[in-house]
Structure 1
Amino acid sequence: MSFNPGRKAQLLAVVGALALAFVPGARPDSIPQLLTLGPLTVLNGTAIVSGTVGGAGAGSQVTVNGHPLSLDAVGNFAGVVSLDGASTLDFAVGNSSGELVDFSVPVALAGPGGIIPGSVVDAVEQAGATLLQPAGGFVGGQPLTVAGSVADKGQLAALAVNGTDVMRLLGADQTFSVQVPGTTKEITLTATDKSGVSETTRYKVLDASAQLATPLGTSVAATSAVGLKIVKIRYIATRVARTKRLRMIVTVKDSRGYLVTGATIKVRSKAAGRLTRRAQTKASSKAGQAAFLLRVKTRTLGKRLVMVTVARTPTAKAAKTTSIRLAKPRGTKKR
């Protein structure tokens, strides 16, 4: 994207003002904030955005109107994106449970100077709309009863599950329940505040046939997994000093505790020259495991081997660094 000198100066001035102005303000204590925004500036078809994604970790990401923005170590982001004629600013972030959450902010809310205050998403977040997920998540095949609640319905103008109004179903305890067909592939919960800002959380519905019982527990395909975790890395170093071979077994699960089948798992030595092959890649088995045979170079024996493991599904990523001290070569004399 290129700008003429006058336009560039104008944008730089606004960015400079944001750098001074963006300090996350005090938030209500009742509901954890997933997305905290700094002032947003809409200017001549572009938007200058900044903010923080709460609880951001490895694999976290944010997109604004489809444009990916990088997060720093504590979840901060900033950038300039083109609106391309869009009437809303749409922020898509992943929450701690692996669901995708979309925040939609109408551009029409911009005031003098094109400024939209950072507090614009506070009301819809503090409304606290959420669904009660069954243990193991939503599984299709039979009609599903979807139950949920809000923390403060006074913040909302509308509440819908897959487009069906549930605001009218809220009881005195601010809970609701509605049925959706067993053929449903995704459940969406959309809360809209009185200024038109909305928050949509998307929950996967698993195909009942996608679950598989194994001796180690229930497993699901990588395409049906919700989030991803490396839960265990085991080394088998028996006779490594003689054979120069080391076994490494990696186990992965999703955020619901299901073993994940078909996840791509890559292991590599953090330092070069430790193994005959620095990196190996395999898919996890039906038991959520991938086993690797590492061929160790002689000079690595008696030292600590540090391994980096990265696991991926189509929608999530996890990484873990582990190490093992290897036995000394046979015949090595103690000094």
Structure 2
Amino acid sequence: MDTNSFRAGLALIALFAAAIVSSAEDGFRYFVQPDSAIITWARNTLVQDPRWPGGTEFVCVGPGEPSKAWRTERTEDAAVTVAFTGYHAPSHQLIEAVVDYTNQRVRSCAAVPGRKPMIAGADFSRCDSIVKADPRWREAIAQRGITDVTSLVVDGWSSGIVSTDPKQRIVRGITYALTNGVNQYDRPIEGIICHVDLDARKVIDVFDHGVQPVASPSASHDDLTISPEPFVPLTIQHEREPFTIDEQRITWQGWSFRFLMHPREGLVIYDVRRTLQGEEQYVAWRLGLSEMFVPYGDSSAAW
């Protein structure tokens, strides 16, 4: 190979590499957190899709998950997308869908067999009304000298594996007394546990482990009580190289990464890179919290 051919080959390689980088960065311009306008459009588009069953409740919504291929090439999913999770109670089906805002279409929508949705806001009020209508629960409450059930709140917590029936969606109902109509969690009505089937809208079991004293009303624990003075704004001083924020991309002291906020995991970091001595190194594509255990309640049977 002569010198000219060698140089021409190097030029083609450089041009190809530049095209890959340009394509990847072009894909990353779609790496944004969907705002309320995008989410509203996506929802309205999804409910018109025949694959989304009528009457399906929206349980969770967040940014679509970008693929790792974005790091090196322009792919089909280089678009602003919104991911939805819904639950169709009549058929006991969890539905997952991705709506493509960039290309104005529903990219995917399908039922996911064998899965149940997370406990959503509507499920708490639904659990509360179901339990309060149950005569067994009302009798247990009366035995504790409580006559005004409107002063109580029944929360639906995760129940663990109570039933393997795919047609049941069970939560664990725990009762609390409101304090000044604001806070409930400092005054649990211990000893009463209900298993509630949200799909059937009925209480399956009521367990009464004996009357326990109910705590006296205390502070409301609202924002004003906890912090009567406004928070002082946080000031960040740049003693060394400052960081920069360009939409969803942050760079700082040779490091760069992109981020999205997800409804379940919270902060998720993508495309982590480090530049050391002029050489850029890829560190990780996705960093997020996979699972977390929080020991709420108490280990006794009363909880």
TM-score, normalised on structure 2? 0.26
Tell me which structure has the larger Cα radius of gyration.
2
Q: Which has the higher helix share?
A: 2
Q: Which has the higher strand share?
A: 1
TM-score, normalised on structure 1? 0.25
